[in-house]
Amino acid sequence: MSADIFNDVLGDDEDSSNYNVAVWQSIQSGIADKGYRLWAARVLGRAFAATGQVSEELLREQNLGTIPSQSQEFKHTQPFLVSKAAILQVLCEALSNSDRANIGLVEHTLQLIMIPEPVMKALIWEPYDCPGIRARIPETKIDNLWPKLDSESPMSSTQWARDLALALVT
């Protein structure tokens, strides 16, 4: 693989066509390197442009016979059911994968598919809003709580601080 688009190992159309399945499988194995994935996309695009076809090995998901558990059960049913069953099977297989980055996404997708919306709303936990608690404060006259300011007899700052502290404590 080379950083240069026109100078890589699979730079010609024939090599791209011959190795496109291996390149696709390498991407499916979970390689996250952006440069590699871009290079692989160029190889796959070049292979398709050269032949005008997608390899049979890459089309196996469209062949119902390759999904053994679904092939006989849905053979005579509606086509969209076969497609849905195949998607569900792929998602269930992805759950057993060791790729932890995608497991949460797969679980969420299965929840959206399988659980009706009203049930899903009931399952989602919302923080419980506690009802208000009535405080048991002894009744006091508001007039007695704070001393009245009297401009005739000024209060010292020490006296004011003491009165404030007592008012806050009681």
What's the domain count of the chain?
A: 2
Nearest to 78 by CA among 64, 88, 90, 92: 64
The more confident residue out of 41 and 170 is: 41
Q: Answer yes or no: is 137 within a domain.
A: no
Q: What is the pLDDT of residues 64-100, one digit of tens each?
A: 455 545 555 555 666 667 777 778 888 887 877 767 7
Residue 30 backbone zone (phi > 0: left; psi -120 to 50: alpha; other: beta): left
What does the mean pLDDT of the chain come to?
72
Q: Are the C-beta atoms of 69 and 88 separated by less than 8 Å?
A: no
Same domain, 72 and 50: no
The residue range of the domain holding 79 is 63-123
Which pLDDT does position 146 carry in this prediction?
57
Q: Is the pTM of this model over 0.75?
A: no
Residue 79 lies in a domain: yes
pLDDT at 105: 84
On whether the CB atoms of residues 66 and 60 are closer than 8 A, the answer is: yes
Same-domain check for residues 73 and 112: yes
pLDDT tier at 46 (50, 70, 90 boundaries)? confident
